[in-house]
Structure 1
Amino acid sequence: MGMFQRDRQVFADAQPLDDSYEPEDIRERDEELEKYQRALQPIIDNRPTSNIFLYGKTGTGKTVATKFMLSHLENDAAEYDDVDLSTVWVSCENLSSSYQVAVALVNEIRKSQNRDRISTTGYSQQRVFDILYEELDALGGTVVIVLDEIDNIGNSDDILYGLPRARSNGYVGDVRPVIIGISNDFQFRDNLSPKVKDTLAEKEILFPPYDANQLRPILEPRAEKAFYDGILDGDVVPLCAAFAAQDTGSARQAIRLLREAGELAQAEDVDTVTEEHVRDAQDELEKNQLYEGMQELTTQGHAVLCALAYRQALNKVPVRSRDLYERYVKICDRLDADSVSERRVRDHLSDMNMLGLISVYERNEGLSAGRYHEYELDVPLNAVLEVLLSTNRFEEVANIIRSTADDNNLLQSDISDY
């Protein structure tokens, strides 16, 4: 008998437990979907449509709700001869500037039409914008542009100024661009330039974390499809929901916990997934979440993490935010990335503290220095470097930090200049 055999006692169809699975309906988001529908209705009515921004932490349903709503919008728009609708979807996960987003939009449009893509380098930003306007004009009608994880562009927000004004500025004639921005950062809008805030005129929809009572009805239909009948103990789904609600309120985390519990039962060759499997799965996922939490940080978050890792490599921690900010700005300069204010850096540090990546210490030195906070990593430096090295933009800096960690005297001149 071979080493690998097809499972016939735990998973009937594991697809509903995959991140890419799109459910037939969206549960526990009625209020958000109602707002979403109202925001998109003007497209069907052939009226001017506001841009839409969705905010919420990872796993709160923003992306799946957008796919669900746009699917219905496209189907319903097809019933009206006078509604000309196109959608363009770009993930900004690895895009850190308006230039890169514009190139990605051009190439996504051309890809859908089986046409050659443009190079990611070699153009001025204005030229890329001009090409994008030409592509949008050729589409005509209403073009819904989805920018998923838009917060990755940081301060490089020209694309959010140019697209909404393209029609009024005469850059396009026969098209109405509508932006749907999806962000994991509730404070992303606060960091936009005043002219962008004024131009966007967007409707905001907030997706709060799920509680346990909301997560259970999300998990139940997936569990019914994914597992053979009778394989799950009655406490398994409620426990998965409770663990995820207590931690992040993420449906994605709850689904992964359920899948991991099933895989543990499969590995033990038992015919029941129990509460104990869920608890073991939770321990395993907690380790993985530290890596995932670091990987899912925005470009600015990675830059802040980089600055803290450098201080850790020099064994100069805990560190005050003002000292950490100086290093952060130098790292941004070296990466040719925009830097944010010290207040925003503290916001990123607060997010990393909630993720369990760093420790925060409150100091009080009385009248002489007052009250302040100091920070240091709460995960192994090697784990941080592993994540940074897997991100192309931070590879060079991560290698310098690694060398510094090996010997505090190595590459001092190089480090002090960035």
Structure 2
Amino acid sequence: MGLFGDLDDTIYQDKDVLKEDYQPDEILEREAEIEEYKHALSDAVFGRTPDNVFLFGKAGVGKTAVTNYVLTELQAEVDQRDTADDVHISRVNCNNESVYSIVRTLINNLIPPSGDRFPAKGPSKADAFERLYREMERVGGTHFFVFDEIDHLSDPDSLLYEFPRARANGYLEDARVGIIGISNNYTFRNTLSSKVKSTLMEQEISFSTYDATELSTILEHRAERAFVDGACDPSAIQACAAFAAKDDGSARQAIDLLLGAGDNAEKNGDDLVTADHVEAIHESVSRGQLKDKIADQTMHCQLVLEALALHQRDTGDTARTKQVMNRYQSVARDHNVDPLTTLESIRGHLDDLNMLGFLLRTEENRGQGGGRSYRWEVDMDIETVIDVRESIDSTPT
């Protein structure tokens, strides 16, 4: 018998249901958000320019899953209507990308397989936009550009100002465009220029975190498909939902916990996944989730978080914004990164981290006429944050 000859798939019937790339055919606990989405895109069914849509919410709360579901349903409806324009969907993750590289990706998504790829270097950004508009006109129909992690783009203004004005400026005649932006950062819109905000006129859809009851519903649906009958005890689902709801309300975390518990049961030769298996792997899964959450932030945001964690470890106290800035600049130089130099930029990153649930902020009373001042505190295990940052920094790129 070979090395793997003794393996027997005992508790899973479709393990892929618990993997991150699984796209469910039914979206649970997001009916209101789906209805808002449907209304925003409905003009595309009638050959009109759809609204631009921006989705905000923490990671793991269904933004991407709902987007994929709604666009798939829209595509199916348009295909059945003779009077509707064709719909073309391009998805781009903006993390560590420039506006030029994103436009290049959009161009190459439209160029037929036999055509020449748009080059990575050489043409200007204006040349890239011009080529994109030509390809859009050639293809025709309505183009949905889905920009995931749009808040990570270095210059979102130049991208988001361009597309809504393309028809008015004569760049497009037959083709139409709808922008879908996805962001974990609720404050992203505040970073855009006033002219971009007025041009976009987008519909905003906010995704709240899931509570334990909602997470239990989602997990029950997945467990029915992932495990053989009787292999997943309700206590396991309740434990996964409770841990995830207490942490950050992420369905992804809850599902990862269930997958980890299933693997733990299978490794031990158990034929029933229970709360004990969830308890056994909770810490390691949570640590992996934290690493992913931190790694999803921009480099300067990570360095601000690391600086505050180091300050708290060394002083045992919370920090004022100026103290965070001083430590951040030292940390940035240690990592061979040119530090930000304004207190406002550091305060912006602290506000973002607070909004995302990494930090706690308390207002400090500075007396009559003292103005408003805040103290900042990492809202998670400090040593874990420092260790995670060290592991991210040491990971080969």
Alignment of 1:290-305 (within 5 A): 290-297=290-297, 299=298, 302-305=299-302
Deviation at 1:168, TM superposition (A): 0.7
TM-score calculated relative to the size of structure 2? 0.85
Residue of structure 2 in register with 1:64 after alignment: 65
Unaligned runs of 5+ in 2: none
Q: Classify 1:307/1:135 alpha carbon distance in 2 versus 1 (closer, same or farther; 3 Å).
A: same
Deviation at 1:118, TM superposition (A): 2.5
Taking the aligned partners of 2:339 and 2:105, their CA distance within structure 1 comes to 20
Which stretch shows the higher mean deviation, 167-176 or 116-125?
116-125
Residue of structure 2 in register with 1:90 after alignment: 92
Residue of structure 2 in register with 1:413 after alignment: none
TM-score calculated relative to the size of structure 1? 0.81
Deviation at 1:107, TM superposition (A): 2.6
C-alpha contact 1:157 1:193 (8 A) present in aligned 2: yes
Taking the aligned partners of 1:267 and 1:360, their CA distance within structure 2 comes to 43
2:303 equivalent among 301, 306, 309: 306
Alignment of 1:324-343 (within 5 A): 324-325=324-325, 341-343=345-347
Residue of structure 1 in register with 2:388 after alignment: 383
Deviation at 1:260, TM superposition (A): 0.4
Deviation at 1:202, TM superposition (A): 0.7
Unaligned runs of 5+ in 1: 393-418
Deviation at 1:367, TM superposition (A): 7.2
Taking the aligned partners of 2:138 and 2:341, their CA distance within structure 1 comes to 33
Taking the aligned partners of 1:210 and 1:114, their CA distance within structure 2 comes to 46
Taking the aligned partners of 1:389 and 1:172, their CA distance within structure 2 comes to 46
Deviation at 1:67, TM superposition (A): 0.8
Q: Are 1:55 and 2:56 an aligned pair?
A: yes
Residue of structure 2 in register with 1:410 after alignment: none
Deviation at 1:271, TM superposition (A): 1.3
Q: Classify 1:313/1:217 alpha carbon distance in 2 versus 1 (closer, same or farther; 3 Å).
A: closer
Q: Are 1:176 and 2:176 an aligned pair?
A: yes
Deviation at 1:144, TM superposition (A): 1.1
Q: Classify 1:369/1:120 alpha carbon distance in 2 versus 1 (closer, same or farther; 3 Å).
A: farther
Tell me the SS of whatever aligns to 1:78. helix
Taking the aligned partners of 1:313 and 1:127, their CA distance within structure 2 comes to 46
Alignment of 1:307-322 (within 5 A): 307=304, 309=306, 320-322=320-322
Residue of structure 1 in register with 2:197 after alignment: 197
Aligned residues: 384
Q: Classify 1:328/1:117 alpha carbon distance in 2 versus 1 (closer, same or farther; 3 Å).
A: farther
C-alpha contact 1:150 1:183 (8 A) present in aligned 2: yes
Q: Which amino acid aligns with 2:88?
A: S
C-alpha contact 1:156 1:338 (8 A) present in aligned 2: no
C-alpha contact 2:108 2:118 (8 A) present in aligned 1: yes
Taking the aligned partners of 2:227 and 2:283, their CA distance within structure 1 comes to 22
CA RMSD of aligned residues (A): 3.2
**Deviation sequence 1:229-281 (CA, Å, 0-9, x none):** 11122211122112111111111111111000001111111111111111112
Deviation at 1:113, TM superposition (A): 3.9
Q: Which amino acid aligns with 1:162?
A: E
Which stretch shows the higher mean deviation, 56-65 or 318-327?
318-327
Alignment of 1:84-233 (within 5 A): 84-95=86-97, 97-110=98-111, 113=113, 115-233=115-233
| Identical residues among aligned pairs (%) | 36
Q: Which amino acid aligns with 2:109?
A: E
**Deviation sequence 1:298-339 (CA, Å, 0-9, x none):** x2xx21322554688899877542354478689699669999
Tell me the SS of whatever aligns to 1:246. helix
1:345 equivalent among 345, 349, 372: 349
